[in-house]
């Protein structure tokens, strides 16, 4: 099963644009973004380093948040995370 899935039916509350920024900046953006969304809401993190997918998946698991999935665009990637706590 691939990590790259699309869930276009999910309404995104917050978009964190970390494109052009090196690791671990996309994860740091997610850490800060979590403060701006309520339980049940979704944030989408945009970045261009595919290694960040696993970083964000691990962070979501560690923080007990839901990793909804990831998507690859032409030159960027996105990850959606739902706040659970």
pLDDT band at 8 (very low <50, low <70, confident <90, very high): low
Q: What does the domain layout of the chain look like in residue ranges? A: 14-82
CATH architecture of 14-82: 2-Layer Sandwich (3.30)
For the stretch 43-59, pLDDT in tens is: 999 999 999 999 999 99
By CB atoms closer than 10 A (0-12, 13-18, 19+), residue 3 is middle
The CA distance from 83 to 85, in Å, is 6
pLDDT at 61 over 70: yes
3-state secondary structure the chain: CCCECCCCCCCCCEEEECCCCCCCHHHHHHHHHHHHCCCCCEEEEEECCCCHHHHHHHHHHHCCCEEEEEEECCCCEEEEEECCC
pLDDT of residue 5: 42
Whole-structure pTM value: 0.88
């Amino acid at each position: 099963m691939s990590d790259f899935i699309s869930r276009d039916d999910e309404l995104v509350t917050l978009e964190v644009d970390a494109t052009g920024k090196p690791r671990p900046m996309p994860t740091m953006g997610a850490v800060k973004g979590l403060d701006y969304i309520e339980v049940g809401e979704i944030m989408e993190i945009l970045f261009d380093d595919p290694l960040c997918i696993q970083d964000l998946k691990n962070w979501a698991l560690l923080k007990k948040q839901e990793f909804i999935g990831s998507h690859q665009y032409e030159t960027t990637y996105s990850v959606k995370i739902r706040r659970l706590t």
